[in-house]
Structure 1
Amino acid sequence: MRRALELAARGRATGPNPRVGCVLLDADGTVSAEGFHAGAGTPHAEVAALTALAGPETGLTAVVTLEPCSHTGRTPPCTQALLAAGVARVVVAADDPNPQAAGGAAVLRAAGVDVETGLLAAESGALNERWTAAVRRGRPWVTWKWASTLDGRSAAADGSSRWITSAAARADVHRLRAAHDAVLVGTGTALADDPALTVRADGTEVAGEQPLRVVLGHRELPPHARLRDARAPLRQLRTHDPHEALAALAAEEVRTVLLEGGPTVAAAFWRAGLVDEVVCYLAPALLGAGPLAVGDLGVTGMPDIARLALRDVVRVGDDVRLTARPLPPVAPGAGDPTTTHPAVHQEASSVHRDR
């Protein structure tokens, strides 16, 4: 199963489908074939492994990181492929949370296949954490990214903002973009900055599919806007409602969204409870005046303070990247969440520093 998880990790981290790996064992427990899912429209891991077999075999065991699908989508059901190949036993790490595809284990058992589930389920869940959350919630996973000076400014008093962070941090942002299905900004940012919102390396667009560029708001983009070019698809959602925006993206099977700003739009997502992770690039610099990087979060006093669980601290060039996740609200009188919430203690050991 650990080998199957390694194979799954080779799959595409973005797109509508999860990452899945499969190892086929012969009747003696020897590996006969391997496979993984490379992305939507390509063979699923089980079919890829079966195709890699040198020839027909009996008594096969399929070790799969996710429950084999039982429905016809872009490809036929994996359960039928396993049955047609005469697989005798299937070992599954995690159940499929997608109601459209779940039920494969039951189908296989009904056909007389020996099925075991739950082996390294936590590891499989971690591999597809954002995809699983998106499927279960019916909306994309949202990562809020921003960059600021030590005094929390996103630009100088005259509005100039290039560049607050180092070249290394900006390159890291492009890797972050590449890990998401869509990049979202408001019309204010789109009109003021004329961003491209593409994934680039050394100033040049990387090869392959680019994230969907999403603009939230009613104002029209000018015809010459860089967001209108052919380098990546564009979707303008003419609404200010974050729930409505994510519902529209979910309908297009967008699983992950990188929220890049500006502060007003980002704060609206936060107030709506729709931010799953925060990534902040903090530059060792001071401006003393200028626009704040974060807008009004609805906090009026210390009892309402927005607490986050720190998951990762990494030095990137001369800057620091902090990754954190919102903590659930603490009931009045429950104590200081920074010392009492279990998530804080759980994550403390994962924080590391690049020296």
Structure 2
Amino acid sequence: MTVTLKLATSLDGRIATAAGESRWITGPQSREQVHRLRAAHSAVVVGVETALADDPELTVRLPGYRGRQPARVVLDSRQRLNPDCKLVRTAGEIPTYVIATGAPDPTLVSHGVRVLSAPAVSDERPDLRSVVQMLGDEGLSNLFVEGGGQVAGSFLRCGLVDALEWFRAPILLGGEGRPGVGALAVAALAEAPHFRRVEVSVLGEDLWERYTRG
């Protein structure tokens, strides 16, 4: 099982302005590469806040692409996903999972969503170590985590991230912007998650930085 975290941020690590505007921080070449990375993974993972705010499809959209679509996974402990959203409406065509902490919502199930019930941690969020194991049991062996900031921080805090795919745009959003990585509760530098940079590429005006866990 491998977990890759994707970040698309400003130079100062922000994924949106203070008002929540985020489309598009990075350029078209970066977004195209993200679709290639999606195609290389068995599932794309997002938090429910991202799903509610953006109503994404989380599909591979490349010219001429006819390959397999990755499964979509939403971390949604209270099953707040709207039955009218794109993810639920297309669940019959593309495998779609909701990770909850209670019994499956019959409405989501009736639309073809597979609801997996995970143990809850203290803040009622699903325990991510259990989630990764459960998804592995479903045959989803390499996960592509796309957001948002709290989800990124949670995977990093749990030590579950094996690789980073970081797309960095040449803009600054400042401290009011929304961070790409949520709280890590790092008290000392020695406790910080460490990664090793393995590649840097230029994509249009952006930088694409690749890291593995160090």
The alignment's TM-score, normalised by the length of structure 1, stands at: 0.50
Indicate the structure with greater strand content: 2
Aligned counterparts of 2:187 and 2:54: Cα–Cα separation in 1: 31
The answer as to whether partners of 1:216 and 1:245 remain within 8 angstroms in 2 is: no
Task: Please report how far the alpha carbon of residue 141 of structure 1 lies from its aligned counterpart in structure 2 after TM superposition.
Answer: 0.6
Task: Please report how far the alpha carbon of residue 323 of structure 1 lies from its aligned counterpart in structure 2 after TM superposition.
Answer: 0.7
Task: Please report how far the alpha carbon of residue 216 of structure 1 lies from its aligned counterpart in structure 2 after TM superposition.
Answer: 1.0
The answer as to 2:81 corresponding to 1:221 is yes
* Partner SS state of residue 173, structure 2: coil
Partner of 2:68 in structure 1?
A: 209
* Partner SS state of residue 164, structure 1: coil
- Letter paired with 1:227: L
Which of 131, 143, 155 is the equivalent residue of 1:245? 131
Deviation per residue, 1:107-134 (Å, 9 max, x gap) = xxxxxxxxxxxxxxxxxxxxxxxxxxxx
- Letter paired with 1:300: A
Aligned counterparts of 1:259 and 1:324: Cα–Cα separation in 2: 14
Task: Please report how far the alpha carbon of residue 298 of structure 1 lies from its aligned counterpart in structure 2 after TM superposition.
Answer: 2.3
Partner of 1:236 in structure 2?
A: 98
Task: Please report how far the alpha carbon of residue 247 of structure 1 lies from its aligned counterpart in structure 2 after TM superposition.
Answer: 1.4
The answer as to whether partners of 1:184 and 1:214 remain within 8 angstroms in 2 is: yes
Partner of 2:5 in structure 1?
A: 144
Aligned counterparts of 1:211 and 1:305: Cα–Cα separation in 2: 31
Aligned counterparts of 2:129 and 2:189: Cα–Cα separation in 1: 27
Aligned counterparts of 2:134 and 2:193: Cα–Cα separation in 1: 27
Aligned counterparts of 1:197 and 1:153: Cα–Cα separation in 2: 21
The answer as to whether partners of 2:156 and 2:193 remain within 8 angstroms in 1 is: no
Partner of 1:172 in structure 2?
A: 33
Partner of 1:191 in structure 2?
A: 52
Asked which structure has the greater RCO (Cα within 8 Å, sep 6+), the reply is 2
The answer as to whether partners of 1:145 and 1:260 remain within 8 angstroms in 2 is: yes
Which of 307, 323, 327 is the equivalent residue of 2:194? 307
- Letter paired with 2:24: W
Structure 2 vs 1, CA of residues 248 and 306 (structure 1 numbering), >3 Å: closer, same or farther?
A: closer
What is the RMSD computed on CA atoms of the aligned residues?
1.5
Q: How does 1:56-95 map to 2 (within 5 A)?
A: none
Aligned counterparts of 1:300 and 1:193: Cα–Cα separation in 2: 33
Task: Please report how far the alpha carbon of residue 201 of structure 1 lies from its aligned counterpart in structure 2 after TM superposition.
Answer: 1.7
Which of 256, 262, 273 is the equivalent residue of 2:142? 256
Aligned counterparts of 1:305 and 1:185: Cα–Cα separation in 2: 23
Consecutive unaligned residues in structure 2, runs of 5 or more:
102-125
The answer as to whether partners of 2:159 and 2:193 remain within 8 angstroms in 1 is: no
* Partner SS state of residue 268, structure 1: helix
Q: Over alpha carbons, which structure has the higher Rg? A: 1
* Partner SS state of residue 214, structure 1: strand
Task: Please report how far the alpha carbon of residue 302 of structure 1 lies from its aligned counterpart in structure 2 after TM superposition.
Answer: 2.6
Q: How does 1:292-303 map to 2 (within 5 A)?
A: 292-303=179-190
Aligned counterparts of 2:138 and 2:189: Cα–Cα separation in 1: 39
Indicate the structure with greater helix content: 1
Task: Please report how far the alpha carbon of residue 278 of structure 1 lies from its aligned counterpart in structure 2 after TM superposition.
Answer: 0.7
The answer as to 2:185 corresponding to 1:321 is no
* Partner SS state of residue 15, structure 2: coil
The alignment's TM-score, normalised by the length of structure 2, stands at: 0.82
* Partner SS state of residue 200, structure 1: coil
- Letter paired with 1:233: P
Aligned counterparts of 1:148 and 1:209: Cα–Cα separation in 2: 28
Task: Please report how far the alpha carbon of residue 217 of structure 1 lies from its aligned counterpart in structure 2 after TM superposition.
Answer: 2.0
